[in-house]
Structure 1
Amino acid sequence: MSNSYAQPILRTPDLSEGLRIVDRLLGIADLRDLEVDFEVLISSAHILSALLELLPNAEWWSERDGGGSSAKGDNPSAHLPVRLKSWAMPTGTVDAFLDALGGSPATVRWDFAGWPAAPEVGLGVGGARGAFVTLCVHARDLELEEPAADHTVFVHVKQVEAERAPWLAAQVGLSVIGDLVMATY
């Protein structure tokens, strides 16, 4: 488990706008080893079925105390609502994941080799430990505890390189819109 620090740079009701900003950020990143991670809170059996078809090896656990989990071999439909996670997926699965969500709160996190140098703020090339972009869909926070009708884009950086987050936002014509928060993965 590693920590990065994330700062929101865009909140929009338009999912395609959020994806455009993600694409622009990825356009300046070192995309070696690019992969995506998914997390979603699911209350509907229909959405659960669609996501398990797309992500058959995903881990899940009940959001209720003492509930079931994939580790126990339980049937997830019997334990709704569940939290489902899938790591190290190919980027080609993002559209299908987003299509299957319905209104469920979710995150898509792009993980890659690093950020470019930011000489204007005194930073060299950023390494993989803090190089992520997260799109929160129908949520305002990385933990999916604040459901929303809109979507939020976060840039992740190392804590000691906090200046990189506003610099990254500026590279795509935006500015930070919230505090730098620890993100645990």
Structure 2
Amino acid sequence: MSNSYAQPILRTVDLSEGLRIAERLLGIADLSDLEVDFDVRITSADSLAAVLDVLPDAEWWAEGGRGGSSRRGDDPLASLPIRLRSWAEAPESVEPFLQAAGDTPAAVRWDFSAWPEVPELGLGVGGSRGAFLTLCVHARDLDLEEPASDHTVFVHVKQVEAERAPWLAAQVGMRVIGDLVMAPY
């Protein structure tokens, strides 16, 4: 299975603006099979408690080459800092997750069936590893390694359909603002 490629289309300090753009993009997508994935870097006990309250069954592992993980049954509090992920969550869990994450670097990735076809670019329906949308909060990158005070919206496409990203951005009054990069998962 190949990775998608993502391109940023919005960077804002207003989280509600990022969510509005995400909602508008979702409005043109084929949302059958919609699910949401979460990723967060946790460094404090307060953040850990809040996120685990929303995602009690999430997987986690210690960062920095240390060995703690949910698979081993370790205590996440004793393993901070950790990376926590949860897959295939309901779309209704986005806002509670973002509230719980607070100012911690985190990402919400919407996974759905397809982007619309773009006949003027010779593109059919865009799906199968190329139909995602990610909102990174308090991070500039998909890996959550570049902390920021702002939030970034990325559209995901297949690498061979890179021209779909600027088209998607234009559909919501945006433009691409960075390079097309391979998504980490």
Whether TM exceeds 0.5 here: the answer is yes
Give the match for residue 110 of structure 2.
Answer: 110
- How far apart are the structure 1 equivalents of 2:50 and 2:15? 20
- How far apart are the structure 2 equivalents of 1:46 and 1:132? 30
Deviating more after overlay: 81-90 vs 123-132:
123-132
Query: What TM-score do you get using the length of structure 2 for normalisation?
Result: 0.98
Query: What TM-score do you get using the length of structure 1 for normalisation?
Result: 0.98
Give the match for residue 126 of structure 1.
Answer: 126
Structure 1 stretches of 5 or more lacking a match? Answer: none
Deviating more after overlay: 83-92 vs 115-124:
115-124
Give the match for residue 26 of structure 1.
Answer: 26
Moved over 4 A (4+): none
- How far apart are the structure 2 equivalents of 1:40 and 1:124? 34
Matches within 5 A, 1:1-185: 2-185=2-185
The C-alpha deviation readout for 1:31-85, integer Å capped at 9, x for no partner, is 0000100000001111101111211110000113223100110000001110000
Deviating more after overlay: 113-122 vs 80-89:
113-122
Residue type at the aligned position of 2:55: L
Structure 2 stretches of 5 or more lacking a match? Answer: none
- How far apart are the structure 1 equivalents of 2:160 and 2:90? 30
Give the secondary structure class of the aligned counterpart of 2:41.
Answer: strand
Give the secondary structure class of the aligned counterpart of 1:52.
Answer: helix
- How far apart are the structure 1 equivalents of 2:41 and 2:66? 17
The C-alpha deviation readout for 1:90-145, integer Å capped at 9, x for no partner, is 00000000001121000000000000011121111112320000000000000001
- How far apart are the structure 2 equivalents of 1:66 and 1:170? 43
Would you say the 8 A contact 2:142–2:184 is kept in 1? no
CA RMSD of aligned residues (A): 0.9
Deviating more after overlay: 169-178 vs 116-125:
116-125
Give the count of matched residue pairs.
185
Residue type at the aligned position of 1:73: G
- Percent identity reads 74
